[in-house]
């Protein structure tokens, strides 16, 4: 399997604070932002909703795209997000989360079976 690189945008709310990043493991990295594992801007401003991402096969293109997106004005980023995600839906629930050991799972309050 070829390695994939992701460039992503997180938001605090629709048209709120934004964060642009890149990663090899999108599920793990977004989980870290959502759970507040990463100190800094995203934790301080509760920027934890995945609203946009792109995937590429090259680290160089991911790095270049991240730099490009960071240079653009907020309004341009808002338009980019709204082209593919007009309702600012949190895409966290749509990425292939089944492959990740980093997801929080509900804790069962049921007693174990006596069987």
pLDDT digits (tens, 9 = 90+) for 83-92: 999 999 999 9
Question: How big is the CA angle at 50 (ends 24 and 89), to the nearest 5 degrees?
Answer: 145
HSE-up (13 A, CA, CB side) for residue 31: 15
Residues paired with 55 in a beta bridge: 6
Give the chain's domains with CATH numbers. 5-99 (3.40.1440.10)
Whether 74 contacts 80, CB under 8 Å: no
pLDDT tens-digit profile of 26-78? 999 999 999 999 899 999 999 999 999 999 999 999 999 999 999 999 999 99
In this predicted structure, what is the pLDDT of residue 104? 42
Q: What is the pTM of this model?
A: 0.83
Q: CA nearest 76: which of 9, 4, 2, 5?
A: 9
């Amino acid at each position: 399997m070829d390695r994939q690189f992701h460039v992503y945008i997180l938001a605090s709310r629709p048209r709120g604070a934004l964060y642009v990043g890149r990663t090899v493991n999108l599920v793990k990295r977004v989980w870290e932002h959502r759970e507040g594992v990463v100190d800094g801007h995203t934790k301080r401003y509760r920027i934890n909703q995945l609203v946009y991402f792109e995937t590429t096969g090259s680290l160089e293109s991911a790095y270049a795209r991240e730099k490009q997106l960071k240079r653009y004005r907020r309004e341009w980023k808002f338009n980019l997000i709204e082209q593919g995600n007009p309702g600012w839906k949190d895409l966290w629930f749509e990425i292939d989360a089944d492959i990740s050991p980093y997801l929080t799972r509900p804790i069962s309050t049921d007693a174990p079976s006596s069987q």
